[in-house]
Homo-oligomer: A and B are copies of this chain.
Amino acid sequence: MRKGIATVSISGTLPEKLEAISAAKFDGIEVFDNDLVASTLSPGELAQRCVDLGLQIDLFQPIRDLEGLDPERFAAAMHRVSVKFDVMEALGVTLALVCSNATPEALNDVDLSAEQLARVGDAAREHGFTIAFEALAWGTHVNRLAQAWEIVRRTDHSSVGLAVDTFHLLARGDDATALADVPGDRIAFLQIADAPHMDTQLLEWSRHHRCFPGQGSFDLAAVVGPVIEKGYRGPLSLEIFSDIVREADARATALDAMRSLMHLEEELRRRWDAAGPSARPRVTLFDPPPPPDRVGPGFVEVAVSEDGDLAGLLGGLGFVRAGQHRSKRATWWRNGAADVILNASPDLEDRFARATHRPEVTGLGVEVADVAALGERAGALLWSRLKLRRGPDEVVLVGTDTPAGVHVFAAGSRGSRDDWRRDFVPEADGAPGDESGAFLGIDHVGYPMPFDVSDAEIAYYRTLFDLNAGPVSEFPEPRGRVRSRAVRRRDARPGHDVQVVLNVAESRGPTRWRGLDQVAFGVPDVCAAVTAARRAGVGMLRVPANYYIDLDARFSLGRHLLTLLREHDLFYDRTANGELLHAYTRTIAGKFYVELVERRGEYALFGGANTGFRLVAQAAQPEDARPAR
């Protein structure tokens, strides 16, 4: 279907907005009147700019407060209409959005509203225009779709149609049933916005917290589907007012917006496919290869400045050299099912290229069944592909660059044709010795990002891999706070399914965000792992004694376990399903740290109860974790 977006949904000046929208392959725009008024582009110049960029102007919006008016004020309103219709003539747009009266003076009189709207319709007809009437969720009297439709119905005017806005509809608690009596040909326009569930004022919610489809909690397909089934063939057009978008990069936002509509179309297709072949309307939908059924953790890649860098740390954590890359200056290190690649190549991609910043955890490898299909899917979704050098006969990986700048490499699973391990020449050290304490794999990874990137980062995992973000957890820091969301499959098993923790630091200090800062390995016995690491000289994070007093108060753990935890500087958490015992190294080069995670029973969380204490301890213990040579 045609895809559009309102200019208010993108940051920057009007010309900047248009370029970003065009680059993201949108078909059309809604001209937000305030954007035009503030611009030095005349309406005619704007129209030409759109032609040059291959964009159609689908809608002019909004014209406010035109109905429910004291008749004495109606002439002034019609004057406004007349001036704005002249602007529309110059723009070459034939559809205007009229929203319900939100002033305190609005009169509660459906017939009066219908009569006034019909007169606006008369004026529209003279120009060959149509108006689409929308119930603002905070309209003084008209604030639900059924009310707007009743007024449109009473106008009985061929130039007056209904505008459906998913935000206004769903925010009032309505759903698609509100559309039951509306004939498809009276739906003049469909605006799409998502939003998180919030218990706040409607106006504040709408003006600041809308987001792109899939980023909020509305079931948009359940509204958009029926609108299309009714015969609506206008654009799927996004209108997002958001504090985040207002500050974000225009091009990134426009791409994010486009992908959200692609994802929405995928969801519509799935619903119609499930309902049987006859259910699907004859519309063109986005149809890439489906996301992988399972995304397993593969490896973490660390950019190092020389080959021996971090060997001491990894060795201290029980890793052994398992192989040397056939064509790159990269070595593969292994402890049980946990794999790490140290890459000393000078030609790493973009932001990680400079050796002075190394070591840095630059990338995450994941394992999927069909690498080629994933690559196709990434391209269709306009995700930015890394240009990977590849030696002869080497495995084809799909490398993407997430919005937060992490490199994600998709490879085949162990032993498959696309197994990344094939690119390494095995080394003797890599042979399994005593594997009793062997690591269980990569439990999870985490990384920081600025707040205006987090929605896009979540969208990356959702659209490409069909992984979902869990609820927001919030942790105080000594100077600020962190908001975290875990991205994973709902039924994820640690070590078997990838788990990524996204952290938005809200402190005002300079935000460092270059790659991953947290790498958590699953271990069978965290006490043994800590003892071995300490013995090898790895600097482990000390936990303050007060923590164990509090732990005793909360869990009545008993002297034996409490002593064990204290002696090994372990954090502890317990739920009805199981227990978590976890330890941290100090940070490495001030950039990242390793967590050792022992899960007992079916504990499925990440120890968030301890995060606040851990952050204070990390701030107080800046010493490097690497063993002295």
Question: Hey, which bits of chain A sit against chain B, CB under 8 A?
Answer: 11-13, 33-34, 36-43, 76, 79-80, 83-84, 86-87, 198-201, 204, 243, 246-247, 450, 452, 476-481, 506-508, 544-547, 549-550, 552-554, 556, 612-613, 616-617, 619-620
Contacts and interface: CB of A to CB of B under 8 A. Distances in A.
A612 B38 contact: yes
A64 to B, nearest CB: 10
Contact of A545 (B42, B201, B478, B546): B42
A36 B42 CA distance: 62
29 contacts: A11-B478, A11-B480, A13-B478, A13-B616, A13-B619, A33-B550, A34-B476, A34-B612, A34-B613, A38-B544, A38-B546, A38-B617, A39-B544, A39-B546, A39-B616, A41-B546, A42-B545, A79-B553, A80-B553, A87-B549, A199-B200, A199-B201, A199-B204, A243-B481, A246-B481, A247-B479, A247-B506, A247-B508, A452-B508
A545 B46 CA distance: 13
Given A80-B553, A247-B507, 9 more contacts: A11-B478, A13-B616, A34-B476, A38-B544, A40-B546, A79-B556, A199-B200, A246-B477, A247-B479
A365 B477 CA distance: 40
B479 A12 contact: yes
A83 B11 contact: no
A37 B200 contact: no
Contacts of A199: 200-201, 204
Given A36-B546, A42-B546, A612-B34, A76 B556 contact: yes
Nearest to A202: B199
A13 B619 CA distance: 9
A533 B232 CA distance: 56
A38 B553 contact: no
A201 to B, nearest CB: 4
A411 B279 CA distance: 79
A275 to B, nearest CB: 37
Contacts of A620: 13, 40
Nearest to A81: B553
Nearest to A616: B38
Contact of A80 (B198, B478, B554): B554
B507 A549 contact: no
A34 to B, nearest CB: 7
Contact of A552 (B83, B200, B204, B247): B83
Nearest to A80: B553
A469 to B, nearest CB: 19
A250 B423 CA distance: 53
Nearest to A17: B478
A246 B476 contact: yes
Contacts of A38: 544, 546-547, 612-613, 616-617
A4 B79 CA distance: 61
Top 9 A-B residue pairs of the complex, sorted by shortest distance between their CB atoms: A83-B553, A38-B616, A80-B553, A199-B201, A37-B550, A40-B544, A38-B613, A200-B200, A247-B480
Contacts of A86: 549
A77 to B, nearest CB: 10
A619 B38 CA distance: 11
Nearest to A198: B200
A546 to B, nearest CB: 5
Contacts of A550: 33, 37, 83
A43 B544 CA distance: 12
Contacts of A554: 80
Contacts of A11: 478-480
Nearest to A452: B508
A380 B303 CA distance: 57
A510 to B, nearest CB: 11
A619 B13 CA distance: 9
Contacts of A201: 199-200
Contact of A246 (B200, B480, B544): B480
A7 to B, nearest CB: 12
A79 B101 CA distance: 60
Q: Max chain B CB contacts within 10 Å: which of A247, A452, A480?
A: A247
A543 B401 CA distance: 42
A112 to B, nearest CB: 22
A41 B477 CA distance: 17
A628 to B, nearest CB: 24
A404 to B, nearest CB: 15
